[in-house]
Amino acid sequence: MIDASTATTPSLLARFGFAKHPERPVAHPRPDGASDALVDAAGKVSAAFEVIEQARGLLYGFHRMSGEADLALQDAVSALREAGATELADDIDQALVGRDVLPGFWTFQLVEQYDEHYFQVFRAAADRVRDDLMGGAPHVFEAEMKAREQDGGPGAD
């Protein structure tokens, strides 16, 4: 074992302070009568929705990047024309500039369809679980986890 008394740097506790705060109340207490299983299930729905939020962000990123690429391609086509490669510029312009990413769809339409037909329904489901089962409180599972982890001393669960 390493002897902490010979350490040349201050301990993490001395540098950053205590992580434990048993005096703090649970940020979002569970509703009366809500079982551990119900809090766990509501937490799983919330976690699933967080994944959907991230997927939606990636879809918006795809939308933005595709649009930026199309604009950059238009600049490149203009540069090709100015450099004398008119036939090639025309070919690229006709075949690619403004092209649907899927037949009949630009990326803004994909985003709109995702929002309307999937994201909004998923959000409504997550909201309903939170409102109906957790009294409207978000992250009850995580709030209890925070309270447990900040409650004890060394080796506490």
Q: How is the chain split into domains, by residue range?
A: 35-131
The residue with greater pLDDT, 156 or 140, is 140
> What is the tens place of the pLDDT at every residue in 97-127?
999 999 999 999 999 999 999 999 999 999 9
Residue 30 is predicted with a pLDDT of 85
- pLDDT tens profile 64-76: 999 999 999 999 9
CA dihedral 78, 82, 85, 86 (to 10 degrees): 70
Asked if residue 139 lies in contact with residue 40, where contact means CB atoms within 8 angstroms, the answer is no
Cross-strand pairs, 102:
105
In the prediction, which pLDDT does 105 show?
97
When mean pLDDT is compared across 34-38, 56-60, 82-86, the lowest value belongs to 34-38
151 to 18, 20, 25, 67: CA distances (angstroms): 11, 6, 10, 50
Res 44: pLDDT: 96
Give percent above pLDDT 70 in the chain: 94
Matching residue, tokens 């390493």: 2
Amino acid (1-letter code) at residue 43: G
What is the sign of the dihedral through the CA atoms of 91, 94, 98 and 104?
negative
Nearest to 139 by CA among 48, 19, 36, 27: 27
The CA-atom distances, in angstroms, between 40 and each of 5, 15, 64, 152 are: 43, 35, 36, 22
pLDDT score recorded for residue 2:
67
Tokens of 13: 């506790």
Name the band, by pLDDT with cuts 50, 70 and 90, for residue 154: low
- Enter the tokens of residue 69: 């690429």
Per-residue pLDDT at 157 exceeds 70: no
